[in-house]
Amino acid sequence: MKKINATIIEQKYLIEDIFSMWLKCPDITDEAHSGQFVNLYTKDSSRLLPRPISICDVNREEGLLRIVYRTAGEGTRQFSTLKSGDNIEVTGPVGNGYELNASKAVLMGGGIGIPPMLLLAKELSEKGLSRDDIAVVLGFRDGTFLVDEFEKIATVYISSDSGSVGIKGNVIDATKHYDITGDMIYACGPKPMLRAIQQYSSENSIKTQISLEERMACGIGACLACVTRTTEVDEHSQVKNRRICVDGPVFYAEEVEL
């Protein structure tokens, strides 16, 4: 893990409150893979803690890393005002990331959980999975983003809360509706969605990797702020708790209690 002062190469407004940003940080892209995240630091000296944001894409040759983020509060709002050429402090890559052990993969992304699915889809594609073997189920609030990028390498299914795009409902509804199957589910999104997926995958006995979120302080494994409850006693913590930042953020669905 490194802390570096990255240069912003591109900042782009996508939709609603969602932005895409490319950062130059070769030291990080060298090691980065899907499911991991980076910590971004604000320039506002009254907001000190790093903001964890998932890696959405990387261009290893050019040392570029992409994040797609929602302006949820003051910190991310500040990130959205940065322009290409500006700098931002970044540590990463953090966390374990997804295991690329699927032969027929179902990727489920909800809301701001969609971005990390893009790099995952690319990595699965690079591993040899065909477009048909990568089903991507995206759950939007209302408007869509990143869809065309997914379509290049995967079969995309869409649901939305409003029904304005795709089928009305959530990613599980879409999965059932389109009868999507596979031998591994990969998921990222809000907790209620992950709970539903956890149940779905247990009922249907499909191995599932989910990416969790929790409030973080250090973002690097030291403070024990970001734990999730686990079903078994964890070797590191000696209790039924694991750190999302470094032991995760990706867990097998049956390992954790949501």
Partner 1 sequence: MDNQNLVDMSVDFCGVSMKNPVTVASGTFGSGMEYKDFVDLNRLGAVTTKGVAITPWEGNPTPRIAEVYGGMINAIGLQNPGMDIFVKRDLEFLKDFDTRVIVNVCGHSVAEYVEAVERLSEVSGVDLLEINVSCPNVKEGGIAFGVDPSALNNITKEIKKKAKQPVIMKLSPNVTDIAEMARAAVDGGADALSLINTITGMKIDINRRTFAVANRTGGLSGPAVKPVAVRMVYQVANAVSVPIIGMGGISSAEDALEFIMAGASMVSVGTANFFDPYATIHIIEGIEAFMKKEGIKSLDEIRGCVK
Ligand X SMILES: Cc1cc2nc3c(=O)[nH]c(=O)nc-3n(C[C@H](O)[C@H](O)[C@H](O)COP(=O)(O)OP(=O)(O)OC[C@H]3O[C@@H](n4cnc5c(N)ncnc54)[C@H](O)[C@@H]3O)c2cc1C
Ligand Y SMILES: Cc1cc2nc3c(=O)[nH]c(=O)nc-3n(C[C@H](O)[C@H](O)[C@H](O)COP(=O)(O)O)c2cc1C
Query: Please, which of residues 4-43 interact with ligand X by CB under 6 A?
Result: 37
- Are the beta carbons of 116 and 211 closer than 8 angstroms? yes
Q: Does 69 bind ligand X (CB under 6 A)?
A: yes
CB atoms under 10 Å from CB of 235, counted, come to 8
Closest CB to ligand FES belongs to which residue?
245
Q: Does 221 bind ligand FES (CB under 6 A)?
A: yes
Side by side, the strands of the sheet bearing 241-243 are 241-243, 227-230, 256-257
* One-letter amino acid for residue 42 of the chain: T
Q: Does 223 bind ligand Y (CB under 6 A)?
A: yes
Which C-beta is closer to ligand Y: that of 185 or that of 216? 216
Binding mask 182-221 for ligand Y (x = CB under 6 A): -----------------------------------x----
Distance CA 23, CA 29 (A): 10
Q: Does 237 bind ligand FES (CB under 6 A)?
A: no
- Region from 15-23, 80-88, 176-184, 217-225 binding ligand FES, contact rule CB under 6 A: 217-225
Locate 51 and state its tokens.
């903001």
* Paired residues of 128 in beta bridges: none
Q: What contacts 24+ positions apart, CB below 8 Å, involve 194-203? A: 194/258, 195/258, 196/170, 196/172, 197/108, 197/171, 197/172, 197/253, 198/253, 198/258, 200/172, 200/175, 201/253, 202/253, 202/254
Which C-beta is closer to ligand FES: that of 42 or that of 201? 42
Q: Does 223 bind ligand FES (CB under 6 A)?
A: yes
Which residues contact partner 1 by CB under 8 A? 1-3, 41, 45-50, 91, 214-228, 236-241, 246
Which residues contact ligand X by CB under 6 A? 37, 51-54, 67, 69-70, 72-76, 112, 115, 213-216, 249
